[in-house]
């Protein structure tokens, strides 16, 4: 068991450097994608403050299917192009949504969610999965959060 504690005083770039280093250490040499996604979801949950959901959806054909996560049970299947997750996977671009109620087609898995950050995990120009972070705080995610999770997604792409 590994205990990683979030230091609320840590500047975000340092927090995300710690997250990346911990994810690298935990997944190095482990070929099982589910195990690696499970540990990365748990690390995000432990180290990134202010979340009510953190985890993965994996692209299976034209559908995103729920993967390892932390938080309340969530929607299992999201068609490509729908919701924040499906938009990130279809456009291959991160979606940073300050107010989920203002996002057309947002899929409310947890009514407490107010803002959301979804980053695609890319390999060879295609989406393998997305990393989804939800927060009960409006406008919780900024460009530093996006850059940190994009760096994590680049690592995850080599470990799943």
Residues that bind ligand SME (CB under 6 A): 53, 74-75, 78, 83-86, 106-107, 109, 113, 116, 132, 134
Nearest distance, CB of residue 152 and ligand SME, angstroms: 17
Rounded Cα distance, 154 and 160, in Å: 11
| Whether the Cβ atoms of residue 120 and residue 99 lie closer than 8 Å to each other | no
Rounded Cα distance, 8 and 72, in Å: 23
Nearest distance, CB of residue 53 and ligand SME, angstroms: 5
Residue whose CB is less far from ligand SME, 10 or 90: 90
Nearest distance, CB of residue 58 and ligand SME, angstroms: 13
Residue number, nearest CB to ligand SME: 83
Q: Pull the structure tokens for residue 139.
A: 């406008």
| Whether the Cβ atoms of residue 44 and residue 54 lie closer than 8 Å to each other | yes
Residue whose CB is less far from ligand SME, 18 or 41: 41
Residue whose CB is less far from ligand SME, 18 or 134: 134
Rounded Cα distance, 6 and 101, in Å: 29
Q: Rounded to an integer, what is the distance from CA 11 to the centroid of its chain?
A: 20
Residue whose CB is less far from ligand SME, 136 or 151: 136
């Amino acid at each position: 068991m590994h205990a990683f504690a979030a230091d609320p005083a840590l500047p975000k770039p340092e927090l995300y450097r710690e997250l990346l280093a911990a994810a690298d250490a935990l997944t190095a040499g482990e070929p099982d994608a589910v195990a690696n996604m499970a540990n990365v979801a748990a690390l995000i949950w432990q180290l990134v403050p202010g979340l009510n959901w953190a985890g993965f959806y994996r692209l299976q054909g034209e559908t995103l299917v729920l993967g390892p996560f932390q938080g309340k049970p969530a929607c299992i299947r999201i068609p490509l192009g729908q919701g924040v997750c499906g938009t990130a996977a279809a456009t291959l671009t991160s979606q940073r949504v300050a107010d989920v109620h203002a996002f057309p087609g947002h899929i409310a898995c947890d009514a407490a969610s107010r803002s959301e950050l979804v980053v695609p995990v890319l390999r060879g120009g295609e989406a393998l999965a997305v990393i989804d972070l939800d927060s009960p705080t409006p406008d919780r995610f900024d460009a530093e959060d996006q850059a940190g999770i994009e760096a994590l997604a680049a690592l995850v792409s080599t470990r799943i």
